[in-house]
Amino acid sequence: MRTRPVIGVTLDAEEPGGYSKLPWYALRKNYFSAIAAAGGLPVALPHDADLAEAYLDEIDGLVITGGAFDVDPALYGGGDTHPTVTLKAGRTDFELAVTRGALARDMPVLGICGGQQLLAVALGGTLIQHIPDTVANALEHEQPNPRTEPGHPIAIAPDTLLARITGTEGMAVNSAHHQAVATPGTGAVVNALAPDGVVEGVESTAHRFALGVQWHPEYAVDPADPLIFRAFVEACRHG
């Protein structure tokens, strides 16, 4: 019998250069350590959309991670691709396949930063391709200070899963994104906003645990950040 729920964690992918002369996967250690500290057993998921269902047979929950890339606007009817958009088609193909598969099984899903945006797209939502071109008087969502420090506050919507998990009306969060959720998708709601109105969190009301946060709770910048991982792992434990 498993003592820890198995948590599948999506990886980032890089082209040759730096670590290896061949294409390689990468992910910061604190994603894994945050999941382990919350009681989960994190395992990495290489990008193969054809294996998405096989992976889902072996895991109890899914974490969709962030990265320095964007979801293809063609996947949500976003129109012409903004010059700032960076695509990683193989990664997105896999993450959409495994996320949609997890949602179909009502398996717990936690989307972080770009993973929150992908979760919204998987739920039928749309994205803002570049915040500075769309949001008047926007904050610096790609914060200039270290990611280990907060970039701005957020307001958490009452009567949401995020509010129940954190037990608070607001948090201080780090910020590392130039895109944001525009609409959260079918059966989904916005659960957090930045002071400039940019969406900072989404969640599905049609699933037992499908939560996306725009910041990086694995850094534990706010005391409520570890609570997000604990609630997620607990949902995976009782699947």
Question: CA 88 to CA 65: how far, in whole Å?
Answer: 13
Confirm if 45 and 27 have CB atoms less than 8 A apart: no
Residue among 68, 4, 77 at smallest CA distance from 35: 4
* CA–CA separation, 115 and 22 (whole Å): 25
From 150, 65, 68, 165, select the one nearest 113 (Cα to Cα).
65
Residue tagged active-site, from 47, 178, 207, 216: 216
Query: Cα 37 from chain centroid?
Result: 19
Nearest Cα to 166, choosing from 231, 75, 116, 92? 231
Q: DSSP string spanning 113-127?
A: THHHHHHHHHTT-EE
Q: Judging by beta carbons within 10 Å of its beta carbon (0-12, 13-18, 19+), is residue 49 exposed, middle or buried?
A: middle
**CA 215/CA 117 separation, integer angstroms:** 11
Q: Which of 95, 200, 203, 218 is catalytic?
A: 218
In the set 113, 141, 152, 207, the catalytic residue is: 113
216 is catalytic: yes
218 part of the active site = yes
DSSP H/E element including 182: strand 180-183
Residue 206 structure tokens: 């049609």
Which residues lie across from 203 on neighbouring strands? 189, 211
- The residues carrying an active-site annotation are 113, 216, 218
